[in-house]
A and B are shown apart, each in its own frame.
Chain A
């Protein structure tokens, strides 16, 4: 019926057998693909798509009507155009790789909630011209079949490459959204369970009462059909109570379950809240749900019942009243048979998830959509730019705008979890992402040392769990038992699947498994010395997981050897993880390839297994990162190195977007703040402002023939005072010229946009660009006095008379950016032009600063004159700079040196910064 959709591989060409990389070649992430669009017209691809721009689609696989679209973001019918959302939903829902097996595992009395990790797939519909990143997730619904409702979120774009290259970031963003939805869903589910339990207990009490009445009526009624039916019903209700209580326990143990998804980070506060909420519930119903001890009060009732008195009736009534009093909710009598699934109305997504969470998620997705707007080239360049700039730690303070704090955080390896209820950020910042290693293990590593660092975490959660009596030991059954059970369970699994989708998924999975086994024997398993720790253990462990709830009786025969191995593994793994996490940038794409094996297994199992057995799966951690489509043969198109770029900063892109948006949002208020107060910083902070300032700078350059001299003053560190009577004009000039102030500081604190009092030497030391009010009053004369007194330290640009007084500049370096006959017309173009020149200057300054022999003697016989001569030679002959141009470089170099040395002298923060100058005469330039 549904043809297999063309699932697209997200992989990179494997580099086995390739020659070692050229050491001089640019790193992949910095190289621009030479022929990115060589194949065709860039617009050709999108031409046949039926939608105009990218959108996000949320679909559901409804158990009643099948796949159906729920909403699109942006929620605008124009976006989708004639694109058939129903059909596309069908396609994207038919590639669900989530293992959504539910039902009664063998030997277990209770239904189990399946804890399913999200799956990520890229698929395309070449006929429709649509490609999508599809993120499947499962929400819990008490009324749904197997208690699960499969959903998916898809980022739909006409550009396949865009999705492929943005896969990591998309995955990150959608994981956040998914986590948020699921967090809300767990809450709602717990609430629903609570309600249901209350109903059940009410029903139970009613049934008990009836039974009691029957018993009183006499033995002749005891075995009547009616009585048997009642007894059955009672037993059913009791069973149901047990089941639901177990469900509640399961849902509350959700957070203790180790996550293998590296993108999963959730707000710690939310988790804690949810946990405590669930535990409260659990406590409550642990008491209630013992069928014969309804509440604490119920004890009396039970006693009465044991005595054979009729006292329990009163007791139960009391309890019921107690229940009613406790909450506004009125318990309802539950019918023995639940309604047919087609009769009832299924809950909407809003109902499934808490409304707050739902709305927050939609907001997040909107943000995601916004941040992915635009051409791939644009996104790619922006990312390159950022990646590059983040590497230029030493010089980027000179001319680049601040990357923002989020980046810093991300560099530290912290993921900021998305929190729907906006818990304070501070609780989130400390949160480390689960230390799942994204990178492959180094080739020399023993296969016995798996990278999955989950052990310690899971170990602790484990102990907690067992303390609470919720989770039993995972190591309880012997290996031989496990194999047997696995077989059983897989059979069971097959049987329990009913929908086409599930069958297909399973078939595909099995197929994958087979292909994996046939084509590539797992190298890791070959290396594994202990036969018990072959990859199959993964599956065993998962089945064992299912066993745990029922297996109270077989608790104590944990094989000692297994435990020992596990602890060894733990230790070795920790070491390894440290090494790997220390160098997240060194991830080499080559090792992403052998993921396939474990891929299947991850999907095969129930994904609930936590600890030791998993440890023997070396590639487990990689597996969760890479989704099943990694199995599909590679395509050349996607090997341009961009996936590596994406991988290299696995957590950074999120930060990018966040900071970008925040910067945009904040820009306006920054502006208003700076214009609002006299002492506000006049510095240019954000990129947008800087581009705007570019226009002003261009105007300045075109308007003033001595612009070059003014720029030289700024770049060589001589304070420039813009003198004028009109505040607006001075402020505009300052804003434009602020582009040229090296190291303007985080908030442009080296720039003073408007000053109306005489300045002092301290001000000159602090500010490099000052807008000064010209006033004709006594204040004005004292200002003139200070101007003339400190004239040797400053250059004065008179905005009213259009004169500039500064030392003469005869260099050629700035002719390029300060050509008043420039043919550049647009401010943003000029800004880019400027940026490239300044960037080059910064690079030269960097080279100059860190070239040893230009500053220190090479041998002990050399005097300072030799070094001096060498420095001059370097500046003049190698860089081709004249005397005045050299001053720019010397100043930039001085700034770099100071910045580099700053952390060392951080303790002596009291020490004032130096202010250097030189004694040269000034000349007056006129228009």
Chain B
């Protein structure tokens, strides 16, 4: 229970360079004022996928896939079938003319793949006894096929028939897959990105061929994402962020995130722990087409694609590794971490430089009398001219274990999943109360009065 408590004087936000890391209990911008704990899993919940506007599916190490109604918190379906932990899950939308139906494809360590109908809870298709377990899944809706990656790359059609497959020689296997233009897919394998191309042969059978191997990363590739039609990005364990051209696979930008650099010019800083290699590992990448948000160790890093520069960053955004991030808008972002919290950030313009804050900090072991709490101050970044700051606007505390992932349903709320076997549905209390009032008066009308 380590808390840094600012004593003496009120923190004048405008005058402070050091932003508040521990926001404390007063969070006016945090509108998640209601929560629902969703129980059902027996082990770590690792994956969440959104099925439609009000449903999401969660999957975890217990091999269970649960379908939830986000509006009510009801558990709609329980998809049982996998005997071991789920390693990948994705939605698969079939568009046949007018109607589209969303199914779920799951991969498990028991070396099986299954197709589920989330409406009925039926296991529609299943393939077992694969040579190896699948680590990632990619649906190519345009081609109506989907690709599974592991030690081998397999291409399946929507009826779960193997179209073609390709053994690869890497030990680690494929860890990430993205779709590229011209029927290409990029697969991350250890330090390399391999580009495959899918081609239809004359007898309308599919074949897959390796066309390029990009080996510019110095370390393992941890994240691989599509940015827009012409760009994709990859991040490595060593903190390298590379922006690639999606068509001719050239490097467009290279950014090596090294916290030590900036630390050199900071002052009056309290370091919580010695830097570890994982501190600069890029755990997760996310983008909205204009910015790339990288989770680097326990910090966050916002990179603008237009200017190809760092827009804002915070080295210590969480107490522990950041596991998942999301850009809500150009200025708002959200991150979750192993420390069990979800934090909401806002990219704010840096106020005019002023005199550095007097560090009147002292620690206290009691939880009482904590009006304002400030965490360890982060650095001033004077070397980057037009940099902005990441301001913490709120945090969600509820899980007692690492928050693995979250899915936002916009105004309907936010679902988080965690190693403590729980899902938490965070909602806007005011909106919910309004909805309940509506329901109340509707029921009142139905009943014809009290």
Contacts and interface: CB of A to CB of B under 8 A. Distances in A.
Interface of A: 394, 760-762, 765, 784-792, 796, 803, 805, 849-850, 852, 855-856, 864, 890, 894, 897-898, 900-901, 904-905, 908, 910-924
A898 B427 CA distance: 16
B400 A787 contact: no
B417 to A, nearest CB: 14
A803 B367 CA distance: 12
A911 B438 CA distance: 19
A787 B371 contact: no
Contacts of A856: 437-438, 441
Given A792-B397, A908-B74, A787 B26 contact: no
A787 B75 contact: no
Contact of A894 (B368, B394, B436, B441): B436
B38 interface: yes
A897 B369 contact: no
B256 interface: no
A840 B52 CA distance: 45
Contacts of A849: 440
Contact of A805 (B30, B72, B367, B443): B367
Contact of A855 (B36, B420, B441): B441
Interface centre among B36, B372, B438 (most CB of A within 10 A): B36
A852 B440 CA distance: 10
Leading 6 A-B pairs by shortest Cβ distance: A855-B437, A919-B27, A924-B368, A916-B34, A788-B367, A788-B1
Contacts of B420: 760
Given A788-B367, A900-B443, A910-B74, A919 B28 contact: yes
Given A856-B441, A916-B33, A908 B72 contact: yes
A915 B35 contact: yes
Given A788-B367, A792-B25, A920-B26, A894 B433 contact: yes
13 contacts: A761-B35, A855-B438, A901-B443, A908-B72, A914-B73, A914-B432, A915-B37, A916-B432, A917-B33, A917-B35, A919-B30, A921-B370, A921-B372
B450 A394 contact: yes
B427 A914 contact: yes
A914 B34 contact: yes
Given A915-B35, A916-B34, A916-B429, A922 B370 contact: yes
B398 interface: yes
B434 interface: yes
Nearest to B424: A761
B367 A911 contact: no
Contacts of B357: none
Contacts of B441: 852, 855-856
B121 interface: no
A738 to B, nearest CB: 23
A908 B68 CA distance: 12
A318 to B, nearest CB: 75
Given A765-B35, A921-B372, 15 more contacts: A761-B37, A761-B398, A761-B424, A785-B1, A786-B400, A787-B367, A789-B397, A789-B400, A791-B25, A792-B25, A904-B439, A908-B74, A914-B35, A915-B36, A918-B33
A924 B367 CA distance: 9
Where chain A touches its partner, the secondary structure class is: mixed
Nearest to B367: A788
A784 B440 contact: no
B429 A921 contact: no
B24 interface: yes
B222 to A, nearest CB: 29
Contact of A911 (B27, B72, B371): B72
A923 B369 CA distance: 6
Contact of B436 (A762, A901, A911): A901
A586 B298 CA distance: 70
A905 B443 CA distance: 11
A855 to B, nearest CB: 4
Interface in B64-107: 69, 72-75
A132 B263 CA distance: 97
A855 B434 contact: yes
B37 A912 contact: yes
A897 B37 contact: no
Contacts, number: 125
A905 B436 contact: no
A912 B30 CA distance: 22
A788 to B, nearest CB: 4
A917 B24 CA distance: 15
Contacts of A914: 34-36, 73, 427, 432
Nearest to A915: B35
Contacts of B162: none
Given A787-B367, A917-B34, A912 B73 contact: yes
A918 to B, nearest CB: 5
A923 B73 CA distance: 33
Contacts of A898: 436
B444 interface: yes
B39 interface: yes
A913 B36 contact: yes
A856 B72 CA distance: 21
Interface string B31-58: 0011111110000000000000000000
Contact of A922 (B25, B30, B438): B25
Nearest to A918: B33
Contacts of A910: 74-75
B123 to A, nearest CB: 21
Nearest to A792: B25
Contact of A921 (B3, B25, B437): B25
A920 B30 CA distance: 11
Nearest to A805: B368
A790 B341 CA distance: 11
A805 B366 CA distance: 11
A720 B28 CA distance: 23
B144 to A, nearest CB: 36
Nearest to A926: B368
B177 to A, nearest CB: 35
A919 B26 contact: yes
Contact of B24 (A785, A788, A913, A921): A921
Contacts of B444: 850
A805 B34 CA distance: 22
A765 B424 CA distance: 12
Contacts of A786: 400
A871 B1 CA distance: 40
B439 to A, nearest CB: 6
A855 B430 CA distance: 11
B442 to A, nearest CB: 9
B375 to A, nearest CB: 15
A235 to B, nearest CB: 73
B74 A762 contact: no
A395 to B, nearest CB: 11
Nearest to A801: B368
B397 A850 contact: no
Interface centre among B36, B69, B397, B440 (most CB of A within 10 A): B440
Contacts of A894: 433, 436
Nearest to B71: A911
Contacts of B69: 911
B61 to A, nearest CB: 19
Given A788-B367, A900-B440, A905 B26 contact: no
A812 B444 CA distance: 33
Interface string B402-442: 00000000000000000010101001010011101111110
Nearest to A924: B368
A887 B397 CA distance: 22
A905 B72 contact: yes
Contacts of A791: 25, 367
Interface string B311-330: 00000000000000000000
A919 B438 contact: no
A222 B27 CA distance: 120
A803 B33 contact: no
Interface string B323-345: 00000000000000000000000
Contacts of B34: 914-917
